[in-house]
């Protein structure tokens, strides 16, 4: 009988061998192929998925594809009400203009008139307290040494031809990283440019429904000289003098009197987004109640406001993280084919909302479908199809004996031509920046496979034709061996005690 392939999901339906769970380790391993990896990434990173923003129809389509694959592998659903989907709640918020103000002494500025919101989602609450005005040359190398921690920071920024110089003044990053409570640009922008910024106030933002996004760092704002010069003078800062001397050494001048930001958003609608989760039950009567979790994020950043030269504006996220999603699928397929299943149970998880701030994994870690203490490890895979062909960075090796286990497994498989190396960028704190961190905080040892960023990172050219599927297939095989070792060994992985103390949140 001739086979007719009707839809993408059918293309990857496993063979008879898989359905019957009859495969040897080698046969299971051989199901992990370059072609499968490329085909899966091509499907997930297809333009029709529209960049898989959270929430979006493309994300839902991706989740449905993953769930369909889990079903075809014969995996047990571990989501809501016997399904593969674990949905988490989102709120859609808009700024409450009548209840949002910036106050400097006796001057009260209204949202959309006296101040604009340049960036911010979910900000709500009141910030008051120590305020400073930063002025002078932001190119001054002393900028980084100003102590702005927990302060409301007004920054007197240069304006050129009625608008900001460049896309953002260069200091913003250093101020945002300084731990400031909030950040207000003082500009001389034209009425047109200032009014145009008001469109942000009308936009709906989507935020997690279970946690208030704090006010600090969640937004930045703009006021103009004409509205605040008098108020700042009363509070001890001479704006005209600062404007007259833009090349002066950078300084932070404390303001006297009351300064506060009252920010309020109201809920304008409700939404939700999916995680997809399935389990392969372990073969050992006791150890099957322990779980190894493989995870990747299936969401990306959606449509870009900056199209490339060809007019392409879809951020496909082929490497970030269609590659990891494909890896989780290939692993799920391979393990589910095995005649002799791993001793511990294996959970396969694709989350969403990673790009928004690790939403899906946070929700999953707080709403685990199995007892937390029975999850023995999380192996997270995010961006594994670019850069070097024979090495992969694995972050978190030093924090538990999973690192040693990986080194040993890696040494046993020289045929892979793949070396798992230590974190190359400890200063970037990647350990704290992807989904595995939500597991680590719960006391679950983790490893994070990551090939590092590249020129196409979060750009519209992170496309399937730039990925190295052959390399990724070897990384997945390494993960297969690693997962098998962790699932089958008598001892569960153990933390390095100092790391446990430093990373695990024991206050709950
Ligand atoms: Zn990612």
- Read off the pLDDT of residues 49-83 as tens digits, 9 standing for 90 and up: 999 999 999 999 999 999 999 999 999 999 999 99
The rounded Å distance from CA 450 to ligand 1 centre is 9
Question: What pLDDT is stored for residue 121 in this prediction?
Answer: 56
Contact 338/280 with Cβ under 8 angstroms? no
State the Cα–Cα distance between residues 393 and 425, nearest whole angstrom.
Answer: 9
Task: Give the mean pLDDT of 127-134.
Answer: 91
47: CA distance to ligand 1 center in Å? 18
**Ligand 1 center from residue 318 Cα (angstroms):** 10
Specify the pLDDT at position 403: 98
For ligand 1, the distance from its centroid to the CA atom of residue 355, given in whole angstroms, is 7
Give pLDDT, residue 167: 52
Q: Does domain 97-263 have CATH number 2.70.150?
A: no
CA of 386 to the centre of ligand 1 (A): 13
Check whether 105 has a pLDDT greater than 90: yes
Tell me how far the alpha carbon of residue 374 lies from the centroid of ligand 1, in angstroms.
26
CB 94 within 8 A of CB 268: yes
Phi then psi for residue 365, to 5 deg, are -65, -30
Strand, helix or coil for residue 370: coil
Task: Report CA(298)–ligand 1 centroid distance (Å).
Answer: 8
Give the Å distance between the CA of 319 and the centre of ligand 1: 8
Distance 297 CA to ligand 1 centre (A): 6
Would you state the pLDDT for residue 359? 96
pLDDT of residue 183: 86
Residues in the 5 Å CB sphere of ion ligand 1: 320-321, 382
Separation of 379 CA from ligand 1 center, angstroms? Answer: 14
Provide the CATH topology of domain 21-90+273-503. Aminopeptidase (3.40.630)
Q: Contact at 8 Å (CB) between 182 and 127?
A: yes
Lowest mean pLDDT segment, chosen from 84-98, 202-216, 330-344: 202-216
Question: Looking at residue 21, what DSSP letter applies?
Answer: T
Nearest to 175 by CA among 139, 149, 136: 149
Distance from the CA of 165 to the center of ligand 1, in angstroms? 31
User: From ligand 1's centre to the CA of 456, what distance in Å?
Assistant: 12
Pairing of strands 375-381, 446-450: parallel
CA of 252 to the centre of ligand 1 (A): 37
pLDDT at site 17: 47
CA–CA separation, 481 vs 412, rounded Å? 9
Predicted confidence at residue 308, as pLDDT, reads 84
Delimit the domains of the chain by residue range.
21-90+273-503, 97-263
State residue 309's pLDDT score: 84
Each residue's pLDDT tens digit, 454-476:
999 999 999 999 999 999 999 99
The CA 434 to ligand 1 mean position distance, Å, reads 7
Q: From 318, 308, 299, 314, select the one nearest 468 (Cα to Cα).
A: 318
Choice among 107-116, 376-385, 488-497 with the minimum mean pLDDT:
107-116
Split at pLDDT 50, 70, 90, the class of 22 is confident
pLDDT in tens, 221-242: 899 999 999 999 999 999 999 9
Compute the distance between CA of residue 251 and CA of residue 284 in angstroms, rounded to an integer: 65
* CA 439/CA 136 separation, integer angstroms: 44
Q: 3-class SS at 117? A: strand
Q: What is the pLDDT of residue 3?
A: 42
The predicted pLDDT at position 216 comes to 42
Tokens of 480: 């297969």
Cα(142)–Cα(147) distance, integer angstroms: 11
Confidence of residue 129 (pLDDT cuts 50, 70, 90): confident
Q: How far is Cα 225 from Cα 91, in angstroms, rounded to an integer? A: 35
From the CA of 455, how far away is ligand 1's center (Å)?
14
Distance of CA 299 from the midpoint of ligand 1 (Å):
8
Cα torsion through 95, 49, 333, 359, rounded to 10: -10
Distance (Å) from CA 339 to ligand 1 centroid: 33
Q: Cα(392) to centroid of ligand 1, in Å?
A: 15
Residue 7 has pLDDT above 80, yes or no: no
What pLDDT sits at residue 15?
Answer: 47
Highest-confidence range of 4-8, 44-48, 257-261, by mean pLDDT? 44-48
Q: What is the CA radius of gyration of the chain?
A: 26
Q: What percent of the chain has pLDDT over 90?
A: 72
Whether the CB-CB separation of 181 and 216 falls below 8 Å is answered with yes
* Two tokens, residue 148: 């702005």
**Over 50: is that where the pLDDT of 2 sits?**
no
pLDDT given at position 335: 97
Q: How confident is the model at residue 174 (pLDDT cuts 50, 70, 90)?
A: low
Q: What is the mean pLDDT of the chain?
A: 90
Q: Is the preceding peptide bond at 55 cis, omega within 30 degrees of 0?
A: yes
The rounded distance, in Å, linking the Cα atoms of 169 and 190 is: 16
Question: Band of the pLDDT at 370, cuts 50, 70, 90?
Answer: very high
CB 294, CB 347: distance < 8 Å? yes
Q: How far is the CA of 328 from the centre of ligand 1 (A)?
A: 14
Distance CA 418, CA 404 (A): 16
Q: How far is the CA of 204 from the centre of ligand 1 (A)?
A: 24
Residue 210 clears pLDDT 80, i.e. is over it: yes
Q: In 3D, which of 348, 444, 354 has the Cα closest to residue 399? A: 444
Give the residue from 69, 85, 88 showing the smallest Cα distance to 77. Answer: 85
CA of 44 to the centre of ligand 1 (A): 14
CA 448 to centroid of ligand 1, rounded, Å? 11
Instruction: Extract the tokens encoding 454.
Output: 């590249």
Q: Point out which residues pair with 291 in neighbouring strands.
A: 345, 375
CA dist 282 and 318 (Å) reads 32
Chain mean position to CA 200: 22
CA of 20 to the centre of ligand 1 (A): 34
Res 1: pLDDT? 37
For residue 436, report the distance from its CA to the centre of ligand 1, in Å. 11
Confidence (pLDDT) at 158: 85
From 28-32, 106-110, 178-182, 365-369, the region with the lowest mean pLDDT: 178-182
Q: Which pLDDT belongs to residue 178?
A: 73
Q: What pLDDT was estimated at residue 134?
A: 92
- The pair phi, psi for residue 428, each rounded to 5°, is -80, -10
Centre of ligand 1 to C-alpha 501, Å, is 27
For residue 185, the CA-to-ligand 1 centroid distance in Å is 31
Can the peptide bond before residue 321 be classed as cis, meaning omega within 30 degrees of 0? yes
Instruction: Look at residue 504 in the predicted model and tell me its pLDDT.
Output: 94
- 327 CA distance to ligand 1 centroid (A)? 13
452 Cα: distance to centroid of ligand 1 (angstroms) = 10
Mapped onto helix, strand or coil, the DSSP state of residue 10 is helix
Task: Count other Cβ atoms within 10 Å, centred on residue 94.
Answer: 15
Ligand 1 centroid to residue 101 C-alpha, Å: 36
CA of 324 to the centre of ligand 1 (A): 8
Q: What's the whole-number mean pLDDT along residues 424-452?
A: 95
Number of H helices, E strands in the chain: 17, 22
**Residue 253's closest CA among 376, 133, 93?**
133
- Reply yes or no on whether the pLDDT at 416 is more than 60: yes
State the distance from the centre of ligand 1 to the C-alpha of 382, rounded, in angstroms. Answer: 5
């Amino acid at each position: 009988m001739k086979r007719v392939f009707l839809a993408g999901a059918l293309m990857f339906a496993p063979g008879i061998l898989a359905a019957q769970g009859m495969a040897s380790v080698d046969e299971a391993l051989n199901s992990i192929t370059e072609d499968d990896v490329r085909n899966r990434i091509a499907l997930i990173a297809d333009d029709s998925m529209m960049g898989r923003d959270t929430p979006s129809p493309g994300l839902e389509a991706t989740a449905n594809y993953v769930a369909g694959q889990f079903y075809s592998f014969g995996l047990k659903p571990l989501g809501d009400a016997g399904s593969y989907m674990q949905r988490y709640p989102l709120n859609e918020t808009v700024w409450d203009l009548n209840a949002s103000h910036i106050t400097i002494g006796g001057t009260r500025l209204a949202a959309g008139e006296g101040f604009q919101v340049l960036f911010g989602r979910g900000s709500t609450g009141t910030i008051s307290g120590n305020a400073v005005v930063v002025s002078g040359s932001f190119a001054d190398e002393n900028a980084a040494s100003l102590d702005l921690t927990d302060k409301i920071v007004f920054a007197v920024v240069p304006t050129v031809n009625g608008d900001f110089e460049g896309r953002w003044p260069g200091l913003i990053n250093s101020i945002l990283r300084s731990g400031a409570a909030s950040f207000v640009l003082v500009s001389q922008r034209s009425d047109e440019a200032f009014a145009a910024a008001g469109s942000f106030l009308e936009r709906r933002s989507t935020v997690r429904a279970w946690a208030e996004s704090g006010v600090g760092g969640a937004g930045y704002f703009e006021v103009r000289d004409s509205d605040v010069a008098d108020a700042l003078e009363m509070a001890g800062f001479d704006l005209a003098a600062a404007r007259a001397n833009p090349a002066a050494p950078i300084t932070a001048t404390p303001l006297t009197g009351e300064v506060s930001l009252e920010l309020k958003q109201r809920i304008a609608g409700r939404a939700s987004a999916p995680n997809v989760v399935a389990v392969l039950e372990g073969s050992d009567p006791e150890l099957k109640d322990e779980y190894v979790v493989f995870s990747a994020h299936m969401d990306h950043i959606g449509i870009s406001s900056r199209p490339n030269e060809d007019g392409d504006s879809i951020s496909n996220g082929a490497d970030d993280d269609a590659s990891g999603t494909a890896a989780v699928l290939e692993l799920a397929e391979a393990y589910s084919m095995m005649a002799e299943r791993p001793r511990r149970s294996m959970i396969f998880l694709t989350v969403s909302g990673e790009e928004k701030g690790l939403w899906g994994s946070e929700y999953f870690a707080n709403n685990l479908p199995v007892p937390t203490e029975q999850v023995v490890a999380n192996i997270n895979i995010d961006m594994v199809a670019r850069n070097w062909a024979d090495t992969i960075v694995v972050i978190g090796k030093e924090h538990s004996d999973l690192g040693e286990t990986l080194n040993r497994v890696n040494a046993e498989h020289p045929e892979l031509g793949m070396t798992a190396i230590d974190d190359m960028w400890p200063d970037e704190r990647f350990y704290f920046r992807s989904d595995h961190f939500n597991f680590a905080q719960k006391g679950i040892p983790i490893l994070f496979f990551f090939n590092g960023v590249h020129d196409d990172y979060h750009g519209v050219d992170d496309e399937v034709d730039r990925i190295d599927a052959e390399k990724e297939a070897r990384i997945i095989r390494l993960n297969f061996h690693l997962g098998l070792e962790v699932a089958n060994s008598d001892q569960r992985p153990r933390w390095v005690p100092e790391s446990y103390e430093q990373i695990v949140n024991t206050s709950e």
